[in-house]
């Protein structure tokens, strides 16, 4: 599988996990958006299927980080990890290949396209 497809799966997995968190928020329900158990279970199956499509080591890291931090991926903003707000070493900022994790907190780093 190409690295672009893997990256897309990983990002979608992350988005769906955030979606799963939000639908359980009391605030969300209060707005009036109700999600039935059946639909929620279906979304969980979708995210599990996405997880299986990732390379094994990436999937393991993702799940471990999710357990630890709830959000496994942190965007990079102005050279900072947005998960732990530590400045990232410059050599890391020029690295472009493969999965890059924050040396401080371990979260998977994500650079947004500008």
Partner 1 sequence: MNLASLLSKDRIILSLKPGKKEKVIEDLVYAIKEGTDAELIVSTLLKREELGSTGIGKGIAIPHCRSLAVDKLEIAVGRTTKPMKFNAIDKKPVSLIFLIVAPPQDPGNQYLITLGKIVQIAKVLTKKKLISKPNTPDEFITLINQVEKDLKKRN
Interface positions with partner 1 (CB under 8 A): 4, 8, 11-12, 14-16, 18-19, 22-23, 25, 27-28, 30-36, 39-40, 42-43, 46, 71, 73, 75, 77, 82, 110, 112-113
Our finding on whether 102 is near Zn ion (CB under 5 A) is yes
Q: What's the closest the beta carbon of residue 4 comes to partner 1, in angstroms?
A: 8
Q: In 10 A of CB 6, how many CB atoms? A: 16
Sequence-distant (≥ 6) Cβ neighbours of residue 45 within 8 angstroms: none
| Alpha-carbon separation of residue 4 from 54, 97, 98, 99 (angstroms) | 12, 11, 10, 12
Q: What's the closest the beta carbon of residue 110 comes to partner 1, in angstroms?
A: 6
């Amino acid at each position: 599988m190409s690295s672009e497809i893997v990256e897309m799966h990983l990002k979608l997995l992350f988005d769906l996990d955030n979606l799963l968190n939000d639908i359980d928020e009391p605030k969300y329900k209060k707005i009036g958006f109700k999600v039935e158990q059946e639909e929620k279970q279906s979304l969980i199956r979708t995210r599990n299927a996405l997880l299986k499509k990732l390379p094994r080591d990436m999937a393991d890291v993702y799940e471990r980080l999710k357990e630890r931090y709830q959000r496994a991926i942190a965007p990079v903003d102005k050279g900072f990890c947005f998960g732990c707000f530590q400045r990232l070493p410059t050599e890391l900022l020029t690295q472009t290949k493969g999965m890059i994790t924050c040396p401080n907190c371990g979260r998977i780093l994500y650079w947004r396209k500008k």
